[in-house]
Amino acid sequence: MCGIVGCIGQQNLIPFLLESLEKLEYRGYDSAGIAVHNGDNIEIYKAQGKLENLKNLLNDTFKNDKNLKSGIGHIRWATHGAPNQINAHPHSSFEEKVSIVHNGIIENYKELKKELTEKGFEFKSQTDTEVIAHLLEDCIKDENNYSNAIRTALKKLDGAYALGIIFKDNPEILYAARKCAPLILGVGEDSNFIASDVPALLDYTKRVIYLEDNQIAVIKGSSYQIMDIDGNILDKKPEILPWEPVTISKMGYKHFMLKEIHEQPDVIRQTLFDKLHTVSDPLVLKEVKLTKETLEQLDRIQIIACGTSLHAALVGKYLIEEFTGIPVDVEASSEYIYKRTVISKNSITIGVSQSGETADTLTAIRQAKDNGSHVLVITNRPDSTMARQADSMIPVNAGFEVSVAATKSYSAQLMAFYLLAIYLAEVKNTLSEEYIEDLKKELIQLPQKIEMILSNKDKIQDCAVKFHNTKNFIYIARGINYPVALEGALKLKEISYINATGYPAGELKHGPIAMLDETIPVLAILVPGKVYEKVLSNSEESKARNANMIAVTSEDNEHLEAVFDYIITIPRTNEVFSPILTTIPLQLLAYYIAEFLGKDIDQPRNLAKSVTVE
Ligand code: G6P
């Protein structure tokens, strides 16, 4: 949610700012802006809309100016104030002595705005951020040094911030500060950098320091100092990132989402690679640091997540309960954090987050941890704030996901839950060895089965052609595929803006069935197993109300043909593994419908991939 970057001492300052902002576009794309110090003044350029608009605003001479001292950049996901040019960052103080970029939300901005307005500061934007710029200018008047002024100002702020700050009268220093929003200091040879996330820096340096809450960085071209909010100097050494620069390429696919959907077989192979050695050996989850004693006594699990990760968590609940009998509660992080935190004695808390930075989930796991729970995080970012705060982790190895709508990270999260549920069953001895071996054999075959779905997309495309103008879509399933119905509906909503809702199939008759007529498609997920017949009869009930019926199924028989107008077939698998397969056609259906509608698939309106505000 909003991305910030900054740099000092770099000759190619503008190329750095623009290239690094491009790597952060997943965090927001409402507007973009930069501020650069030319030695005398701060110049600011901002544009509404995508980063491309900002790039087009800057002429080549300026882009290649080698004499610029320092600069900060921002890519916005609007919270306070419409996504227009005035509200775009950077924001400057009244006398233009300070320019800042900000990620986060200042909760007491109204009170501060009132105080500052009374002192004569005039506000130009509707943002919460602008108060920080004026506040800094106000504090410089009373303080004899810049970092003291910053510390004084920060102490007045309630809320979350990652900040990049430059001062007109102090061109040799870039300042940065962090509280409850990610921020990294990149250490180069004769230049230093800041960024909200690692991919922005990898082309420039692999030496980074993850700033922690209430830390301030005072950064020059060839040195830096980190202090706490009280001014104590901290000894923080850079760590070397093990990653290569991230190449953002669609590899011939029309959209990143389509590429990422097609990467899922390999993502699953990669997830299994170092954890499942042979079907007869126990699984190896080396980052799970639960003691044998804790595992033996474990009698309750709570899982906290948001969005697509929440849907993966619901599948996880089903699996863990099915394989181990341990009761599992799943809750949206945003709900969890505003009620009493109840941690039972022999329980653990699992946080699921592809980014590892989602504000609600981060707060939730902190609360669980503060209340004595062991926190295990399932994340695609082992370097994230969540992973750093957790006691244990299951890294999901999905690779960098560019498309805002999560696909491969979701499949990788599901895999993490399969592995965890089997791991718990092995430790707690809740399933027979033979059954566990069968499960592992089936797991290994999943990538190939996904490849079969991906190589036969005609039916899915037919459905997309037929239904792309539909206003409402209903997804139904039962049991372990119910969360898949929720996820399929979410995917469609996110990228096509069609109203889509997932229901437990048995709930249709308790209300939603009233909506059904020939204008509404009902997509039913039905695979052989405990609930097949039940979903089939719920589908018949829908058919009887003239709904257009679509099946995602591994069956192909006359009975189905009588009920469904479209049958999308997937390979057969054990019912417990079916979510990995049933998800794929739903991702593709959402993709093709959005494509027919000409939507901005990789960057849907109003969304961001990493949501760092509560
Ligand atoms: C945003 C994204 C979703 C994602 C959710 C949770 O809303 O657009 O795709 O599922 O955040 O993110 P997390 O990183 O915690 O999984």
From 331, 358, 381, give the residue whose CB has the most ligand 1 atoms within 8 Å, as the site to mutate: 358
Please list the active-site residues: 2, 609
Supply the residue whose CA is at minimum distance from atom 16 of ligand 1: 353
How confident is the model at residue 216, as a pLDDT? Answer: 98
For 159, phi and psi rounded to 5 degrees?
Answer: 125, -155
Q: Is the separation of the CB atoms in 36 and 77 below 8 Å?
A: no
pLDDT band at 247 (very low <50, low <70, confident <90, very high): low
Write the pLDDT tens digit of every residue in 156-167: 999 999 999 999
High-pLDDT (> 70) share of the chain, %: 99
Write the pLDDT tens digit of every residue in 184-235: 999 999 999 999 999 999 999 999 999 999 999 999 999 999 999 999 999 9
pLDDT band at 611 (very low <50, low <70, confident <90, very high): confident
- Domain positions in the chain are 3-248, 256-453, 458-597
The CA dihedral of 584, 585, 591, 592, to the nearest 10 degrees, is 150
Q: What distance in angstroms lies between residue 70's CA and the mean position of ligand 1's atoms?
A: 33
530 has pLDDT over 90: yes
Q: What distance in angstroms lies between residue 576's CA and the mean position of ligand 1's atoms?
A: 24
Name the 3-class secondary structure at 303. Answer: strand
Long-range contacts of 452-458 (CB under 8 A, 24+ apart): 452/570, 452/571, 453/570, 453/571, 453/581, 453/584, 453/585, 454/261, 454/262, 454/264, 454/265, 454/584, 457/588, 457/592
Q: 610 vs 594, which has greater pLDDT?
A: 594
Question: DSSP state, 40?
Answer: S
Evaluate: CB of 334 within 6 angstroms of ligand 1: no
Q: 74 vs 61, which has greater pLDDT?
A: 74
High-pLDDT (> 90) share of the chain, %: 88
Write the pLDDT tens digit of every residue in 556-602: 888 899 999 999 999 999 999 999 999 999 999 999 999 999 999 99
Residue 123 half-sphere exposure toward CB, CA atoms < 13 A: 21
Q: Is 244 exposed, middle or buried (0-12, 13-18, 19+ CB in 10 A)?
A: exposed
Supply the residue whose CA is at minimum distance from atom 4 of ligand 1: 307
How confident is the model at residue 78, as a pLDDT? Answer: 87
Q: Is 128 exposed, middle or buried (0-12, 13-18, 19+ CB in 10 A)?
A: buried
For 32, phi and psi rounded to 5 degrees?
Answer: -145, 155
Q: Once rounded to an integer, what is the mean pLDDT over residues 392-410?
A: 94
From 260, 306, 410, 493, give the residue whose CB has the most ligand 1 atoms within 8 Å, as the site to mutate: 306
Cα angle, residue 569 at apex, residues 546 and 318 outer, rounded to 5°: 90
Fold of 458-597: Rossmann fold (3.40.50)
Return the bridge partners of 219, or none: 174, 224
Q: Smallest Cα–Cα separation from 351: which of 322, 327, 318, 373? A: 373
Q: 267 vs 611, which has greater pLDDT?
A: 267
Supply the residue whose CA is at minimum distance from atom 13 of ligand 1: 353
64 has pLDDT over 90: no
**Averaged confidence pLDDT in the chain:** 94
Supply the residue whose CA is at minimum distance from atom 8 of ligand 1: 609
Evaluate: CB of 358 within 6 angstroms of ligand 1: yes
Evaluate: CB of 353 within 6 angstroms of ligand 1: yes
How far is it, in rounded angstroms, from Cα 219 to Cα 376?
35
**Domain 256-453 carries which CATH code?**
3.40.50.10490
Q: 249 vs 260, which has greater pLDDT?
A: 260
Q: Residue 10 has which token pair?
A: 């770099």
- Name every residue whose Cβ is closer than 8 Å to that of residue 52 and which is 6 or more positions away in sequence: none
Write the pLDDT tens digit of every residue in 89-142: 999 999 999 999 999 999 999 999 999 999 999 999 999 999 999 999 999 987
Evaluate: CB of 384 within 6 angstroms of ligand 1: no
Q: What distance in angstroms lies between residue 610's CA and the mean position of ligand 1's atoms?
A: 6
How far is it, in rounded angstroms, from Cα 590 to Cα 585?
9
At position 14, the amino acid (one-letter code) is I
User: Given this chain, do its domains 256-453 and 458-597 carry the same CATH topology?
Assistant: yes
Evaluate: CB of 486 within 6 angstroms of ligand 1: no
Question: DSSP state, 228?
Answer: E
Q: What distance in angstroms lies between residue 291's CA and the mean position of ligand 1's atoms?
A: 30
Supply the residue whose CA is at minimum distance from atom 2 of ligand 1: 609
Write the pLDDT tens digit of every residue in 286-314: 999 998 889 989 999 999 999 999 999 99
Return the bridge partners of 216, or none: 177, 227
Q: What distance in angstroms lies between residue 147's CA and the mean position of ligand 1's atoms?
A: 35
How far is it, in rounded angstroms, from Cα 315 to Cα 36?
48
3-248: in CATH 3.30.2350.10: no
